[in-house]
Amino acid sequence: MSFHRWIGIGLLSSASLSRIYSTMASGKVKLALIDLSGTLHVDDQPTEGAVDALKRLRQHGVRVRFVTNTTKESVHSLHTRLRKIGFELEREEIYGSLAAAAEYIRKNALNPYYLLTDDARTDMPPNDPDRPIDSVVVGLAPERFCYENLNEAFRVLHQKRTDSPPKLVAIHEGRYYKAKDGIALGPGCFVKGLEYSSGVAPVCIGKPNEYFFRSALPEDVAVEECVMIGDDPNDDCLGAMRIGMKGYLVETGKYQPELYSEENRPAVSGIFATFSDVVQHIVGKVQKG
């Protein structure tokens, strides 16, 4: 079997086939957007061959940027942890949904009730004690998802305001993620529960938001010159493909190939066993280019 598990030719509609063929056309890859949790690492363990594969990708002239919906820890903590487990990267190379959410909060002058971990809160604008709470911000914060806190968030959203309606800001709406002891609930179900009870539709900040992907791109790189590598078929791969990137899916995280048949596999640009296998594929395209 070849190093990549599957490329969806023959299982898609003609329109999907056309899109996949066009995104997989030969051409040099200039930039790789790389997901972190489930792709490069699971908790504090790198995925197989990931540390060396990242070095190899850089050695072949491919620029990298790490795009993540991670909301359990600040960018500083995340960067420190990744370097500790062997990855060579700069803090400025990490573009996360926490930073995008902080920008949104500042731009809209919000004073939120935060359902975030204490560490993630350090990346957020501080609350103004002289203003009322006018919004709710939700990330992955298992220790905060108790009835008391969720009910407080609901009350913020349910309040009647004459100036502007309250906002529900979902840093991301992930359904689940891969932890070292198995899959675990993401923040999406809590966001949907608050939406259902309050009637307030969420604003989703991170992947698969189109603006999030476009914001991660340098001005001198076109979307056609980029690939997105991740473990989530929708949030990582299909989200990137909607704006013209290639989307490569890995099997080391939340994606569980045994749950899919040949007929309903995700219509991504390619499915690979590991990040290292994706790099092997990309390097081959770079060398041909």
Rounded to a whole number of angstroms, the distance between the first and last alpha carbons of the chain is 25
Structure tokens at 217: 């791109």
Q: Report pLDDT digits (tens) over 141-167.
A: 999 999 999 999 999 999 977 678 999
Return phi, psi of residue 176, to 5°. -160, 170
**Secondary element (H or E) of residue 98:** helix 97-107
Can you give the pLDDT at residue 22? 40
> Could you tell me which of 234, 167, 165 has the C-alpha nearest to residue 203?
167
| C-alpha to C-alpha distance for 165 and 123, rounded to whole angstroms | 25
Can you give the pLDDT at residue 21? 39
- CB half-sphere exposure, 170, CA atoms < 13 A: 22
**Domains delineated in the chain:** 28-69+207-287 (3.40.50.1000), 100-204 (3.40.50.1000)
**Mean pLDDT value of segment 124-144:** 97
Q: How buried is residue 155: exposed, middle or buried, by Cβ count under 10 Å (0-12/13-18/19+)?
A: middle
Query: Is a pLDDT exceeding 70 seen at residue 59?
Result: yes
pLDDT band at 256 (very low <50, low <70, confident <90, very high): confident
Query: Is a pLDDT exceeding 50 seen at residue 54?
Result: yes
User: Residue 269 has what DSSP assignment?
Assistant: S
| C-alpha to C-alpha distance for 229 and 49, rounded to whole angstroms | 15
Q: What percent of the chain has pLDDT over 90?
A: 77
Can you give the pLDDT at residue 5? 45
Query: Mean pLDDT lowest for which of 54-63, 100-109, 280-289?
Result: 280-289
Could you tell me which residues come within 8 angstroms of residue 109 by beta carbon, excluding any fewer than 6 positions away?
Answer: none
Describe the chain by its helix, strand, coil percentages, rounded to 5: 40, 20, 45
Contact 72, 140 (CB under 8 A): yes
Contact 157, 166 (CB under 8 A): yes
